[in-house]
Amino acid sequence: MQPFRPILEKTVKTTNRVLIRPRHFAPLAAAIALSLAGCGGGGGGLPTAASPSAASQTSLSGTAIDAPIANAEITITAGAPLNDPGASTVGTVTADGSGGFTLAVTLPASAQPIFANAVDPANTGVVLTSYLGSSTALAAAGVLTPSNLPDLDISPVTTAALAVFAQVNGGSYASLTPATYATTLQTYRSDILAIAAAIRAVGDNLCTPSPVPTSTTNLAAAIAAGSNLSSGNSMTLSAAASTLGGNCPSVLASLPQQISADPRFGPELDLGDVIDAGIHTVPAGGYMLQGLVAETGMTASSTTSNPVNPANVFTDAAVNIDAAGNVTSVDGNVAGTLVGNLLTLTVTDGSQIYNLRGKVGTIAPALVSGGQGWSVQAGGTNTATGVLTSFQAVLAPAGAQPVWNGVAVPTGASSADGVQCASGLPLRLDAFVVGVGGGSVGECLIPGAGGWTMTAPLALANPFNFDDHSGAVLSALSLGTALTATAWTETASAPFVLSDATASFSLGGNSAAPILGETYYVMGTDAVVFSGSSGNSLFSMHGNVLNRLGEGPGNSVDAPNSQAQDH
């Protein structure tokens, strides 16, 4: 298959046609991205909301930029993605020789889910899809611009997320809403990463599958079907390797970590996009920022491991967000913008400068004292080296403190995600280690006032570990010394960051002795970071009460009646 072409961009406006001003992204060989982004053409707010009971005429204009996709096929569907049962086409257009297109559609009057689909006519096996929201919400939003919907893309991540949603919902999209989509992202993050990795491996010609899949959407569906998702003991990386065959298994394990730290894809893994004009997830005011910078060793175009700086705790005690969403700090080490829940930052950490892009979500009030806290999950690059970097942080008012034992823990024995515990919260982490492979680890977590205690589980589901396909097995990972009771304590300068200096893991056939290092966890985020002699690795957390975030007041993933919409 030919590599995926770069970005498609569009604007949406009711009634009138809109002229667009393209945003210029770096060349993107990993995805076709269809962005709701453009120039609204003047000041003022959104038009009066369309009536939910009436169909709405909507104009779509866009262009394929950065190596244009000549004659790209764009299809907007209602009810289901392109080629799925229940899909009805509401509009199609063929892009011109420069990748530009204009499309007028009438959205259904009922609140059906709407999908954007893109097919490369030069390689019709490249089919990607994304959930846009309900037809009534899209019509009521009026002009969809970077000021009210900043990050809506068709990519391997969105395609994988929809495949997972369909698999766990019996092939139906009837229950797909912004809230259920966000819950899918948080619950099945590591599974979505593995499927997105398979799409990238094929679409970017990183391997030769056998047999060649008929389309990337069919590939995603086949992997989701073979992943044992609904059992709590998913084997998605193994399912991806088995489905692809050929020489693809050896390239899969590194890609999930690359995708999660990439500023183009990482934001799509967390929550969705709030459709709200002028609304920011974090209110204007002063905050402190506490987090972790963890370079992956990979670049956006290569999974080859490069030298990295050790994971480093970052703090800034005086960050300000104004009413327009501008982010600044007194010392100049933090600068950026917040639009909806999309945060774009430049962070100066000592001599290193990072350009970052990610999502912000509300942390449950029970986990923070002294004010509301927000979790930041972002990916970006070290500006000097180009190395992809994970940035996980907490924004909180000055004086706020974490309440690590504010989370509900099962009483007595419990089991979840293939992890059985005599006491504590069952915790499953899926590891993707660059150059080594993938594996899973189970722990039993007991929260305390100043951190966590980790103990070994009673049992793990069998089989539990992902198969490794590069000649080794990630056979054991200990988040404490020999899996004995080990304390994760608050970092002195950043109490919202837990750390444990006694972690280790072994690499099966590649290492007779465990690799020693330090683990970190930032409140509300989706991954534990291991930093040791092998570099920095992210261990993706299966969805649980620790990483369940909302996009803002009234728009929690646990509040299905929320009026806000996302992707």
pLDDT digits (tens, 9 = 90+) for 18-70: 222 222 222 233 334 444 332 222 222 223 333 334 445 554 443 333 334 56
What does R_g of the chain's alpha carbons equal in angstroms? 22
Spatial separation of the C-alpha atoms in residues 348 and 382, rounded to whole Å: 10
CB atoms within 10 A of CB 523: 26
State the Cα–Cα distance between residues 161 and 145, nearest whole angstrom. Answer: 24
Among residues 206, 210, 217, the alpha carbon closest in space to that of 244 is found at: 210
**CA 97 to chain CA centroid, nearest Å:** 33
Q: What sign results for the dihedral spanned by CA atoms 308, 314, 320, 324?
A: positive
Question: Distances in Å between the alpha carbon of 253 and those of 196, 224, 284, 533?
Answer: 11, 17, 41, 19
Find where tokens 């099945």 sit: 188
Q: How many CB atoms lie within 10 A of CB 210?
A: 10
Q: Provide the greatest CA pair distance for the chain.
A: 67
Compare 505 and 224 and report the one with higher pLDDT.
224
Alpha helices in 148-254 (DSSP H): 156-168, 178-187, 189-203, 216-225, 236-244, 249-252
DSSP of 82-147: TTSTT-EEEEEEE--TTS-EEEEEEE-SS--EEEEEEEETTEEEEEEEEEEEEHHHHHHH-SB-TT
Mean pLDDT of 78-93: 91
DSSP secondary structure letters along 226-277: TTTGGGT---HHHHHHHHH-TT-HHHHTTHHHHHHH-TTTGGGGSS-----T
pTM of the entire predicted model:
0.82
If pLDDT is split at 50, 70 and 90, which confidence band does 434 have? low
* 452-491 residue pLDDT tens: 888 878 776 644 444 333 333 333 444 443 334 578 899 9
